[in-house]
Amino acid sequence: MKNRLWLGLVAAMAILIMAVPFAAADDINLAKKSTLEEIQKRGVLRVGLEAGYLPFEMADKKGNFIGFDVDMAKEMAKAMGVKLEIVNTAWDGIIPALVTKKFDIIMSGMTVTQERNLKINFADPYIIVGQTILLNKKHEGKINSYKDLNDPKYTVTSKLGTTGEQAIKRLIPKANYKSFEVESEAALEVMTGKADATVYDLPFCVVFMAQQGGKNMVFLDEPFTFEPLAWAIRKGDPDFMNWLNNFLRQVKNDGRYDDIYARWIKSTDWINDVK
């Protein structure tokens, strides 16, 4: 009985040892198939986006692509040591275009959803574009977050039927809420002093501030709800995913991300390039 047990253990170890080289070979083959390898061989990073989601991707007066995502793509290509090619793609076809290898990665302000995640893989979120606040200038320094607005003496606006409205009802229930059919009307109510604050998603607030030149308003740009944007790649590419997440971690800690954020989110100077 002991001999049989011993022989069984030896046989199992032999099978395990034989399987290790095959596992290593599979890992090497998977790495060779990575989009990262294709980019290196090609010498070009092809980025898919739809130019029109301000301030993330847009065309300037000269027809050049500019914006938050474009600057991040430039840093990514530089880190890879390759050239950058922007592939402007209609939004309704951008995921199929990625899957069929029209480009290597989607960098186009794409929100992470479970439905999309069934078809593509997302890297770690690079920005949260949840609800932010445009505040009437008279409250500057006095109101610093949504919590300070939770008082019946304040009138807060947003667009009817949006996540902005939901956030107000859920997180600022004591405030006097006033809804509008159009988000710009809700913001104008604050700019003209008829309301104290408006709550809406970060990209809209950035663009409205840029268009109005910051007139009579203060932008509290720290999102207080979770609506993440992330880069998307094809499924089954752990090497590329690993590289992207490490790249993101690096730029967020060496100052490059902060510079890009300040240029496109905190500043409104870029509006002159697209008017």
Would you state the pLDDT for residue 11? 54
Would you state the pLDDT for residue 191? 95
Cα distance between residue 105 and residue 95, in whole Å = 10
Domains 38-127+229-274 and 131-220 equal at CATH topology level? yes
How confident is the model over 196-203, as a mean pLDDT? 96
How confident is the model over 113-133, as a mean pLDDT? 96
pLDDT level of residue 222 (50, 70, 90 thresholds): very high
pLDDT above 90 as % of the chain:
82
pLDDT at 22 over 70: no
Q: Parse the chain into domains and list their residue ranges.
A: 38-127+229-274, 131-220
How confident is the model over 2-23, as a mean pLDDT? 53
Place of tokens 């301030």: 55
Strands, sheet with 121-122, edge to edge from the N-terminal-most edge strand: 83-88, 44-49, 105-106, 232-233, 121-122
Kindly state the tokens that stand for 242. 């690993």
Considering 23-27, 117-121, 214-218, the range whose residues carry the highest mean pLDDT is: 117-121
Cβ–Cβ < 8 Å for 158, 195: no
Going by DSSP bridges, is the β-strand pair 65-66/58-59 parallel, antiparallel, or unpaired?
antiparallel
Of 22-31, 50-59, 262-271, the poorest mean pLDDT is in: 22-31
pLDDT level of residue 116 (50, 70, 90 thresholds): very high
pLDDT level of residue 164 (50, 70, 90 thresholds): very high
Cβ–Cβ < 8 Å for 103, 48: yes
Would you state the pLDDT for residue 1? 47
Would you state the pLDDT for residue 246? 98
Asked, as a colleague might, if the bond just before 125 is cis with ω within 30 of 0, I would say no
Given this structure, which CATH class describes domain 38-127+229-274? alpha beta
Residues written for the chain: 275
pLDDT level of residue 274 (50, 70, 90 thresholds): confident
Taking the C-alpha atoms of 45, 116, 52 and 205 in order, what is their torsion angle to the nearest 10 degrees? -120
Would you state the pLDDT for residue 9? 53
Mean pLDDT computed over every residue of the chain: 91
How confident is the model over 246-251, as a mean pLDDT? 98
pLDDT level of residue 268 (50, 70, 90 thresholds): confident
pLDDT level of residue 23 (50, 70, 90 thresholds): very low
How confident is the model over 149-168, as a mean pLDDT? 96
Identity of the amino acid at 229: L
Q: What is the CATH number of domain 131-220?
A: 3.40.190.10
The pTM for the full model equals 0.82
Cβ–Cβ < 8 Å for 183, 158: yes
pLDDT at 2 over 50: no
